[in-house]
Amino acid sequence: MLGVDIGQDAVRVVELVRWRGMLSCRHCGAAALAPGVILEGNVMDAASLTDALRQARRDSGSACTRIALAMPATALITHAIRLPAGLPEEQLEILVELEAAQYMPFALEDASLDFCILGPAPPLAGTTGKEVDVLLVAARRAGVQCRLDAARAAGLQAVIMDSEALALQAALAQGGWQALPDGGVAYQLAWGLALHRYAR
* Phi-psi domain of 132 (left: phi exceeds 0; alpha: psi -120 through 50; beta: other): beta
pLDDT tens, position by position, 161-185: 999 999 999 999 998 999 998 899 9
The pLDDT score that the predictor gives to residue 57 is: 97
Question: What is the value of pTM for the model shown?
Answer: 0.86
Look at residue 79 and tell me whether its pLDDT is greater than 70: yes
Three-class secondary structure of residue 96 per DSSP: helix
The overall longest dimension of the chain from CA atoms, in Å, is: 60
Calpha distance 54→43 (Å, rounded): 16
The pLDDT score that the predictor gives to residue 200 is: 66
